[in-house]
Amino acid sequence: MAEPVIVVSGLPRSGTSLAMRMLEAAGIEILRDDVRAPDADNPHGYYEYDPVRATKRDASWVDQAAGKAVKVIHAFLGDLPGHHRYRVIAMERPIAQVLASQRAMLARRGADEAADDAALERALRRDRTRALREAERNPRFEVLRVDYPALVADPAPHAAAIAAFVGRPEAAATMARVVEPALHRQHG
């Protein structure tokens, strides 16, 4: 059987781009297209691969993803085809921090968002919980949950866990050096 696809997942603004940078530092090939350019919110880039958005209609890109890393937001995990194996690095960040980060990003872009934070927080928590529960129950998925604030506060043990999970334990120190605590700006 082919190598598993390494998937970095989570809510938007939950540290998924950082996790992708860590995997890149470990020498893992990254699926990305840089359609979305680096900016003040993600100065190292978003590490996105546009075909992921259409996985429900066309999952052919997954056939070339074995042994590589790709970012797949939590809502699309269920769209990944069943004839592959996946190692999912699930980035978890408190919902209040996710919302604060999203608000700051939208404000920098001049967008005005009036949202019911309590309702949005409940919906995001429910959706994230459901997506991860389904992934953890699927025998094709192995899931490693990573606490984003803890990773930023103390990168070494979390980098070691991620490195071991993806089969690159020798790269743990290199991966830990990628973490830039100054970029963890929104604390809820």
Separation between Cα atoms, residue 48 and residue 157, nearest integer Å: 26
The whole model's pTM is what?
Answer: 0.89
**pLDDT band at 78; cut points 50, 70, 90:** very high
Q: What is the pLDDT of residue 34?
A: 83
- Interstrand relation of 5-10 and 86-92 (parallel, antiparallel or unpaired): parallel
Mean pLDDT of 49-65: 96
Q: Please count the structural domains in the chain.
A: 1
What are the tens digits of pLDDT across the range 12-43?
888 999 999 999 999 999 999 988 888 877 78
Residue 164 lies in a domain: yes
Separation between Cα atoms, residue 122 and residue 82, nearest integer Å: 29
**pLDDT band at 176; cut points 50, 70, 90:** very high
Sequence length of the chain is: 188
Q: Are 28 and 169 in contact (CB under 8 A)?
A: no
The CATH number of the domain holding residue 129 is 3.40.50.300
Residue 188 lies in a domain: no
**Residue 6 CB partners (closer than 8 Å, separation 6+):** 23, 28, 67, 68, 69, 70, 86, 87, 89, 166
Helix ranges (H only) for the chain are 16-25, 95-108, 117-137, 148-153, 155-165, 172-177
Residue 187 lies in a domain: no
Name the average pLDDT for the chain. Answer: 89
What are the tens digits of pLDDT across the range 96-125?
888 876 676 655 656 555 566 777 888 888
More confident: 186 or 158: 158
Residue 148 lies in a domain: yes
Q: What is the pLDDT of residue 35?
A: 84
Domain hosting residue 120, numbered range: 5-182
